[in-house]
Amino acid sequence: MEDFMSEPAAVQAGVHVEAVSLGVRRSRQTKYLVRNATFTAAPASTTAIIGRSGAGKSTLLACLAGDVPPVSGRVRLAGVDVWPRPLRRRMLRNPARVGLMFQSGNLVTSLSVLQNVALPDRLRRERDWVSRAHHALDLVGLADTGSRRPASLSGGEQQRVAIARLIATRPEVALVDEPTSSLDEVAAETVSDALVQLAATGTSVIVVTHDLRLAARAGQTLSITNAVVHQHSGADVAMLRQVLEHERC
């Protein structure tokens, strides 16, 4: 395999998935959740991943994050080959490369909300971490929660704090799992707006979601049906609803 860092910058940036298959090996057979997936998520773009429960959406996201190894294929994020060596160790040394937001939020309970949002910037010794953290909290509708502790927030509010942390960090790639799952309609729209704005700063945003309104705002939507990843561009809510209904047939 050639040295990826010798490839052009346009190829290094964003997310590149090449012929990736994911599955569980049982005896001599493999049960595939995803087979031979190939797609690109460019910088300053939003990609939504949709599909029925159990279709492999979160497993695909976990593969991109360096948590679930592929059966075959190649994954590159922000200029780094994720496999065969896990990305996570390198990512933790440079959180501005890849930002993760899973449903638990992974907030530090001993820190305030503001400190949680600013944590990656403080680790990088960014000078404007306070203003960036306040701005990010404002974008997700939590401007007045900075001094509180995560335990005092609802599950949905904790999700929004985790989104604010991504926004403040401005990573090259953001991997987001079900960011609106615990939110009411108004809060979900606020988070959708914030993710679109994050992409506008240059981030490649990839989001797993059941929220078709959020998916319809993505420039690219990937649906997983019978282990096959289908690509849709410029899809509206009605079209995406038809896609999911077709999967149930």
62, two tokens: 């976990």
pLDDT one-digit tens code per residue, 31-81: 899 999 999 999 999 999 999 888 999 999 999 998 899 999 999 998 888
Say what the pTM is: 0.89
Closest to 226 (Cα-Cα) out of 52, 19, 72, 92: 52
Closest to 108 (Cα-Cα) out of 93, 119, 94, 98: 119
Give the whole-number percent of the chain exceeding pLDDT 90.
Answer: 67
Domain ranges of the chain: 42-54+87-248
The pLDDT value recorded for residue 201 is 93
Please, are residues 235 and 85 in contact by the beta-carbon 8 Å criterion?
no
* Topology annotation, domain 42-54+87-248: Rossmann fold (3.40.50)
Q: How far apart are CA 205 and CA 37, in angstroms?
A: 18
Please, are residues 180 and 202 in contact by the beta-carbon 8 Å criterion?
no
Q: How far apart are CA 143 and CA 123, in angstroms?
A: 22
pLDDT tens digits for the chain (249 residues)? Answer: 344 444 444 456 899 999 999 998 777 788 899 999 999 999 999 999 999 888 999 999 999 998 899 999 999 998 888 887 767 666 656 778 899 888 767 899 999 999 999 998 888 888 889 999 999 999 999 999 999 999 999 989 999 999 999 999 999 999 999 999 889 999 999 999 999 999 999 999 999 999 999 999 999 999 999 999 999 988 899 999 988 887 664
Closest to 218 (Cα-Cα) out of 229, 205, 202, 230: 205
